[in-house]
């Protein structure tokens, strides 16, 4: 029996793409996360919440907004990969092959960072399908989220210490 690309792929197959089941799970989890973040962030826009906005609360919500945008970007990349069939990915690999790559020896799909990598016979790898802006934008948004969350924690801690009147552990 001869195995074909359509019927079977082993873990060592050099022409692997993303697993469709993995893509669907990631899309579902990402869409659910994005909906939850969007609902929460829109709830923060209610007039009673806007009146009580403080720098600490703003620095709490900015990371959530950054995470929502990062999740949307990742979902966009996942959709592009899901909607691009294996044959189209192979054609894209061939079309975007740099001149110094004599031939293609494989293709693989990575989830982190999200990309479809074409592997050349000379060891040169290059990305196709997923736009080049997704990974750097994702990294920048996650960095902003982390810095703002840390800033929010510092401001919250200062407020608690100032309300307590004495430095040290805060008891509730």
Q: What share of the chain is helix, strand, coil (3-state, %, to 5)?
A: 60, 10, 30
User: If pLDDT is split at 50, 70 and 90, which confidence band does 168 have?
Assistant: low
What pLDDT score does 5 carry?
44
Mean local confidence (pLDDT), 129-145: 95
Rounded to whole angstroms, the Cα distance separating 34 from 73 reads 10
Q: What is the mean pLDDT of residues 144-167?
A: 86
| In the predicted structure, residue 171 carries a pLDDT above the cut 70 | no
Concatenating the DSSP letter of every residue in 47-83 gives: HHHHHT--HHHHHHHHHHHHHHHHHHHHHHHHHHHHH
Measured CA to CA, the distance from residue 166 to residue 81 in angstroms comes to 55
What average pLDDT does the segment 145-163 reach?
Answer: 90
Q: What is the mean pLDDT of the chain?
A: 86
Question: Residue 1 pLDDT > 50, yes or no?
Answer: no
The stretch 126-150 carries a mean pLDDT of 94
Q: How far is CA 95 from the centre of its chain?
A: 26
Predicted confidence band at 170 (pLDDT cuts at 50, 70, 90)?
A: low
Please give the pLDDT value at position 167.
56
Tokens, residue 81: 């990969």
Q: Would you state the pLDDT for residue 136?
A: 95
Q: What is residue 14's predicted lDDT score, i.e. its pLDDT?
A: 74
Answer positive or negative: Cα dihedral of 71, 73, 77, 82: positive
Question: How far, in Å, CA of 132 to CA of 77, rounded?
Answer: 10
């Amino acid at each position: 029996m001869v195995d074909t690309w359509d019927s079977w792929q082993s873990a060592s197959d050099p022409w692997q793409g993303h697993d469709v089941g993995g893509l669907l799970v990631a899309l579902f989890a990402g869409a659910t996360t994005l909906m939850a973040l969007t609902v929460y962030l829109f709830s923060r826009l209610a007039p009673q919440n806007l009146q009580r906005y403080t720098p600490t609360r703003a620095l709490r919500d900015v990371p959530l907004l950054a995470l929502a945008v990062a999740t949307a970007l990742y979902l966009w990349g996942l959709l592009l990969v899901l909607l691009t069939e294996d044959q189209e990915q192979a054609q894209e690999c061939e079309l975007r092959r740099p001149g110094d790559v004599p031939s293609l020896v494989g293709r693989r799909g990575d989830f982190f960072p999200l990309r479809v990598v074409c592997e050349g016979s000379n060891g040169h790898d290059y990305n196709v399908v997923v736009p080049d802006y997704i990974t750097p934008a994702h990294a920048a948004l996650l960095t902003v989220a982390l810095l703002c969350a840390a800033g929010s924690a510092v401001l919250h801690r200062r407020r608690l210490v100032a309300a307590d009147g004495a430095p040290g552990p805060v008891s509730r």
